[in-house]
């Protein structure tokens, strides 16, 4: 029998994750906590594992064969049978056994040693051989031994980790470029349920930001998304447009009724004086600012690549703070105008999600 195993990320309550998985599933299934991991019995293990690998709070997911853990010899034979099917000719392999606290007449090292020897003999004609360590192996065969059953992992998938979706409450975020997208995604990964502000200068800007919102919904695995659509205008003379846009968006977020605000600032890109000014404005307004990307630099590039987006960071000019101050009144008035023309939409995430956002204007 094949099952799906969810390995929780650090700091995640296993009972809460099990309940989340039950809600996440599109079917009635058995979800059992086995000490440090969760076993799910799905009608379609491969499809469910693929979907579960997008859930925050899960470190990795495995499709595994469930066998009895009572008999040492039977377990070793089962491992060899699975290994013979998944290990390819010429591969190096490593057998790793995780044994949960239980009463067995063997220990994990016994299984690793015996199964490795048996599998090496079985695969000798294929030129497959054991590796010295997990890092040196081309194929790692993971076995998890519980109280009553053992699980031989056939397929292992890395998941996003993080905290449970919505476990930290709601927060206001915006998606108006790659950094704001990554910041919103990081907030969601940290357990916040973001309400997304989606601004647009024109139709082209709307399409670009709507595509990012669609990717955000896909990456966070949500079924519904609250979006605040709003047109914005920028003063375009004698100042850095990128800085003006960040200043305008920060004003919009601060003036909104939500108390928790997620800003997309990083010291690697934004001037420190701009970050400090906006943080102070937020606190003065009684808001709690969060900056998930604040100390990231090269990590942002890696994060963007893993997420599948292009990092469109423009080189910001050395616009002085007092020069930007000349646009203070204009930015305030444009922020209020944008808020007054906000359209709040609750959209179901599906194949037509992008068009649903655009059609909502």
Tell me the per-residue pLDDT of 235-284, one tens digit each, with 9 for 90 and over: 765 556 788 889 999 999 999 989 999 999 999 989 899 999 999 999 99
What's the structural domain count of the chain?
2
Smallest Cα–Cα separation from 115: which of 81, 149, 157? 81
Q: For residue 310, what pLDDT band results from cuts at 50, 70 and 90? A: confident
Do 203 and 281 belong to one domain? yes
Last residue of a domain, one of 161, 189, 213: 161
Do 196 and 152 belong to one domain? no
Do 157 and 174 belong to one domain? no
- Residue 329's pLDDT is 86
Do 155 and 220 belong to one domain? no
- Residue 157's pLDDT is 95
Do 276 and 143 belong to one domain? no
Do 23 and 139 belong to one domain? yes
Last residue of a domain, one of 161, 191, 210: 161
- Residue 320's pLDDT is 60
Domain that residue 118 falls in: 2-161
Do 85 and 214 belong to one domain? no
Do 147 and 182 belong to one domain? no
Last residue of a domain, one of 161, 193, 215: 161
- Residue 340's pLDDT is 93
The 3-state secondary structure of 32-80, one letter per residue: EEECCEEEEECCCHHHHHHHHCCCCCEEEEEEEEEEECCCHHHHHHHHH
Do 220 and 114 belong to one domain? no
Q: How many CB atoms lie within 10 A of CB 97?
A: 22
- Per the document, the length of the chain is 361
Smallest Cα–Cα separation from 214: which of 355, 34, 64? 355
Q: pTM of the full predicted structure? A: 0.87
Q: What percent of the chain has pLDDT over 70?
A: 96
- Gap between the Cα atoms of 129 and 120, Å rounded: 6
Do 198 and 129 belong to one domain? no
Q: For residue 98, what pLDDT band results from cuts at 50, 70 and 90? A: very high
Given the structure tokens 């919904």, which residue do they identify?
217
DSSP-derived secondary structure letter, 290: E
Do 254 and 340 belong to one domain? yes
Tell me the per-residue pLDDT of 197-224, one tens digit each, with 9 for 90 and over: 999 999 999 999 999 999 999 899 888 8
CATH code for the domain in which residue 240 is found: 3.40.50.620
Q: How many CB atoms lie within 10 A of CB 327?
A: 19
**pLDDT, greater one: 198 or 318:** 198
Do 272 and 154 belong to one domain? no
**pLDDT, greater one: 234 or 174:** 174
CATH code for the domain in which residue 28 is found: 3.30.2130.30
């Amino acid at each position: 029998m094949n099952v799906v195993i969810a390995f929780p990320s650090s700091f995640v309550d296993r009972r809460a994750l099990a309940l989340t998985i039950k809600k996440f599933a599109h079917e009635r299934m058995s979800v059992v906590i086995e000490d440090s991991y969760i076993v799910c019995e799905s009608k379609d293990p491969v499809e469910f594992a693929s979907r579960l690998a997008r859930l925050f709070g899960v470190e990795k997911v495995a499709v595994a064969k469930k066998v009895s853990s009572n008999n040492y010899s039977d377990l070793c034979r089962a491992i060899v049978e699975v290994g013979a099917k998944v290990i390819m000719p010429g591969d190096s392999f490593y057998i790793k056994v995780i044994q949960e606290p239980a009463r067995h007449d063997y220990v994990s090292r016994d299984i690793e040693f015996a199964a490795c020897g048996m599998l090496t003999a079985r695969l000798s004609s294929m030129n497959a051989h054991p590796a010295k360590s997990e890092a040196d192996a081309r194929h790692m065969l993971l076995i998890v031994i519980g109280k009553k059953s053992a699980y031989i992992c056939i397929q292992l998938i890395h998941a996003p980790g993080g905290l449970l979706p919505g476990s930290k409450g709601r927060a206001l975020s915006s998606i108006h470029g790659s950094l704001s997208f990554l910041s919103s995604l990081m907030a969601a990964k940290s357990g916040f349920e973001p309400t997304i502000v989606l601004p647009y200068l024109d139709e082209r800007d709307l399409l670009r930001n709507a595509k990012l919102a669609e990717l955000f919904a896909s990456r966070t695995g949500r079924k519904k998304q609250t979006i605040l659509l709003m047109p914005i205008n920028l003063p375009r003379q004698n100042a850095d447009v990128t800085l003006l846009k960040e200043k305008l968006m920060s004003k919009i977020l601060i003036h909104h009724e939500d108390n928790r605000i997620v800003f997309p600032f990083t010291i690697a890109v934004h001037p420190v004086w701009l970050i400090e000014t906006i943080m102070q404005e937020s606190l003065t307004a009684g808001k709690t600012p969060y900056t998930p990307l604040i100390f990231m630099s090269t990590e942002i590039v890696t994060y963007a690549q893993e997420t599948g987006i292009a990092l469109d960071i423009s080189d910001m000019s050395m616009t002085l703070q007092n020069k930007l101050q000349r646009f203070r009144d204009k930015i305030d008035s444009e922020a209020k105008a944008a808020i007054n023309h906000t359209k709040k939409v609750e959209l179901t995430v599906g194949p037509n999600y992008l068009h649903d956002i655009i059609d909502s204007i």
